[in-house]
Amino acid sequence: IVGYDENDVYLHTSPLCHIGGISSALAVLMVGGCHVMIPKFEAKTAVETIRKHNVSALITVPAIMSDLITSHRMGKYSETFTSVTKILNGGGGLSAELTKEAVRIFPRAKLISAYGMTEACSSITFLRLYDPTQGLGLLMGGGGSCVGKAAPHVELKVDSGGRILMRGPHAMSGYLGIQGSSSSAADRWIDTGDIGRIDGDGNLWLVGRAKGKIKSGGENIYPEEV
């Protein structure tokens, strides 16, 4: 999906103890890419490292992307980061404003957002936010936030209660020491804990967290919708 290759210079912005950090690191390692490590993420250091090593790929979460944009602005850099061609965002969706600012300072980068969870060994769906050859790819609409289509080898379904279930060869088999924790049944479907829907084009839309549901006047209300 992201398209890492042996020519990539990958900047580690996420710790290797995090599923996003280790899964992307392994993907780059498997294709023979170059890894650039920094002691811990600090926006100023990351910006300087991108410039110094001609970094081509990195992963972000919304807070990291915001910090990178702010650091670039505060540093009064006149140039954009044209060496960066691949950015994978996770841990929450990027707002339209953050996406536009990211495109401005990373004009050659393919920007992809992933929805996932540790139990699924990271990504469940992918959504193209921007591609230099195609422009912005944001999906807007009522009834939630679009997180794109299922990753290869991932199956998705929404049960009668609106819960999003997933399964795939890379998903966990269960929580250690907790019997019956792996799935809704013996078929190995994992409950993500999220409420959503799948549209006619196969895109998954998130409505809210199942635990955050409020019943009022006989209706189900999710804080994210208010």
Domain boundaries, the chain: 1-138, 143-226
pLDDT given at position 68: 96
Q: Is the pLDDT of residue 222 over 70?
A: no
The predicted pLDDT at position 163 comes to: 95
At 208, list the tokens.
Answer: 């809210």
Could you tell me which of 81, 145, 143 has the C-alpha nearest to residue 113? 145
Q: What is the pTM of this model?
A: 0.87
d(CA 92, CA 103): 18
Which two structure tokens, joined as six digits, stand for 209?
Answer: 């967290």
Judge whether 106 and 59 are in contact, CB under 8 Å: no
Question: Comparing 81 with 222, which gets the higher pLDDT?
Answer: 81
Q: What is the pLDDT of residue 218?
A: 45
Confidence of residue 8 (pLDDT cuts 50, 70, 90): very high
Provide the pLDDT for residue 77. 74
Q: Is the predicted pLDDT of residue 161 greater than 50, yes or no? A: yes
Q: Do domains 1-138 and 143-226 have the same CATH topology?
A: no
- Measure CA 8 to chain center: 19
CATH 2.30.38.10 assigned to 143-226: yes
> What's the half-sphere exposure (Cβ side, CA atoms, 13 Å) at 132?
13
| Domain topology for 1-138 | Rossmann fold (3.40.50)
The mean pLDDT value for 39-48 works out to 94
The answer on pLDDT for 144 being more than 90 is no
For every residue of 125-154, DSSP letters joined together read EEEEEEETTTEE-----SSSEEEEEEPTT-
What is the DSSP code (8-state) at residue 98? H
Q: Given this model, what pLDDT does residue 174 score?
A: 82
Percent pLDDT > 70 in the chain is 87
pLDDT of residue 185: 45
